[in-house]
Amino acid sequence: MGTRKVAVITGANGGLGYSIACRLLDTISPSVPLTIVVTARYLRKAVETINRLRAYASNRDLLSFDYVLLDLSSISSIDEVAHQLLSRYTHIDYLFCNAGGGDFTGIDWPAAFIEVISGPKNAVTHPHFKRERIGRISRDSLGWVFQINVFANYFFVKQISTLLSGGGRVILISSIETEIAHKFDPEDVQLINSDQPYVDSKKELELMHAAIAERWAEELDVQIYLTHPGICQTSIFAEYLNWFTTFGMLCLFYIARWIGSPWHVITPYKGALAPVWAAVDAVPEADPVDGIVYASATDRWGRPYVKPTHNASTEDRKNGAILVEVMDKLVEDSLERIKVEDK
């Protein structure tokens, strides 16, 4: 029996988050004591997720669960969760920053039809037909999508950095769609004016990683891996699809995979391969954290593998430094505001 491992998975009740937990259970030996800390916004979701995971791993004796209620759209909630973890644990081995989302409003169906007819593989790899709300502001007076996908992860990791130091691993979840992101705008870091804030926020996550991964590895011995799950079925856009369009989308996924796309992994469990590999199996000397995205991929027959992609450019590092400087100031401002609210 080895030392107990502790894994925190944000958004563990969702398709990819739940699949990360399942794959983690399948990857780490049952002889290793393991605690999985589930985060969810609501108690019911947290309890349901833990019950499902208990059933999934019913043969493991050295497994325990914990939960915290986390709302990424509230900096106070993130700060409270950080304090809870600091009071319960002395070390966290794996932090999967999976939770997040987009402020989608629907699908431009005529544009979707044209894109599918023009190039079905590209239409389901780099779609331009998803509609997003522009200018949504969080209760913390920040760009809402920027907050939940970028700043919340940065703030959370900084707040629990003492638990991660000395070998902990942080797994960030990006997206293949960053290939169609807008150019970074230092005048709109919070993406309030962006017409595709979800994609642009995932690109900012990559910029953030390019700015901090090497430094945190050297200064804190925290390995921050950047991954993406390929393209798989999740609930992030499900409300805008019915059974017919869902079936059509799946057919296009399989077609795209068959004609050569490595990214259409389709199932969340296969999408969870790269994040779990980065947490458990990656070797920093051979699999460096700096500037690389490790992606879940499959061959034509659906056999999954991890595919390194996208080396950060000099411009990415420059823009990442600007982004981190802005976020460091936001961290200071947020902590000051929390102090005032607590008085």
Provide the 3-class DSSP secondary structure of residue 54.
helix
Instruction: Look at the block and give the residue holding tokens 């992860």.
Output: 153
Provide the 3-class DSSP secondary structure of residue 341.
helix
Spatial distance between the Cα atoms of 236 and 273, rounded to a whole number of angstroms? 19
Q: Which tokens belong to 163?
A: 């638990």
Instruction: Look at the block and give the residue holding tokens 């050297």.
Output: 218
Can 174 be counted among the known catalytic residues? yes
Residue of 19, 74, 174, 296 marked active site: 174
Three-state helix/strand/coil letters over 115-180 = HHHHCHHHHCCCCCCEEECCCCECCCCCEHHHHHHHHHHHHHHHHCHHHHCCCCEEEEECCHHHHH
Radius of gyration of the chain (CA): 19
Q: What is the number of alpha carbons within 13 Å of residue 90 lying toward its C-beta?
A: 2
Q: Which tokens belong to 298?
A: 């499959």
Query: Who contacts 158 (Cβ-Cβ below 8 Å, separation ≥6)?
Result: 331
Strands 223-228 and 169-173 come out as parallel
Distance in Å from the first CA to the final CA of the chain:
46
Residue of 198, 225, 269, 294 marked active site: 198
The values of phi and psi at residue 130, to 5°, are -80, 130
Query: Who contacts 239 (Cβ-Cβ below 8 Å, separation ≥6)?
Result: none
Spatial contact of 149 and 98, defined as CB atoms under 8 Å apart: no
Residue of 202, 225, 269, 334 marked active site: 202
Query: Who contacts 82 (Cβ-Cβ below 8 Å, separation ≥6)?
Result: 156, 159, 160
Cβ–Cβ contacts within 10 Å for residue 107, how many?
16
Q: Which residues are catalytic?
A: 174, 198, 202
